[in-house]
Amino acid sequence: MFDDTTGEFDDDGIDTDKDEIQVSVSDELTRLHDKYGNLKPQVVVDEARDEGSPIHDRFEWDDTKAGEEFRLGQARKLIRVVVTMGPKGKTTPMFVHVTDADEGPMYVKTTIAVESESLFESALGQLSIKLTIAIRSLTDLISASTGPLPAPLKSVQKSLLAARKALDKVIAPH
């Protein structure tokens, strides 16, 4: 399952060779794309319901567990959309995702995170992860392109890389 707070996929408890899983998932998703002309999450889930599907085990089929995971995802989204209005009408997220050494991943008020060196550094670490995801996504699109690219894309890519590099210097261990 994809964890949007870390930008990584967890293994969902499957103890299998990751290369084998990647090939199997890739092959099945390619097959579904070719069959339907595109990929929609609902189609992937519907096709995966068959226990013989190579991606069946990548899903949680226990509705109680799946329902709880869905609600946790809804809670994360709910937490992320709440903003506060500043004096000049500028909005700021009310909560920010951090990882605390004792309590693990959690959300805290942004005003608290910016006052705590460790929480602020953790929030910056989360920002670095988001920048890495954006860089990876843009790089993948540029690499996959076979036609001419809009001139500003390379500039955007360089700017993102520079931003992450500068941010990483700020959050590097002192």
How do the domains of the chain map onto residue ranges?
Answer: 1-81, 92-174
Neighbours of 57 (CB within 10 A): 16
121-149: pLDDT as tens digits: 999 999 999 999 999 999 999 999 888 88
For residue 21, name the pLDDT band (cuts at 50, 70, 90): low
Residue 173 binned pLDDT confidence (cut-offs 50, 70, 90):
low
Predicted TM-score (pTM) of this structure: 0.71
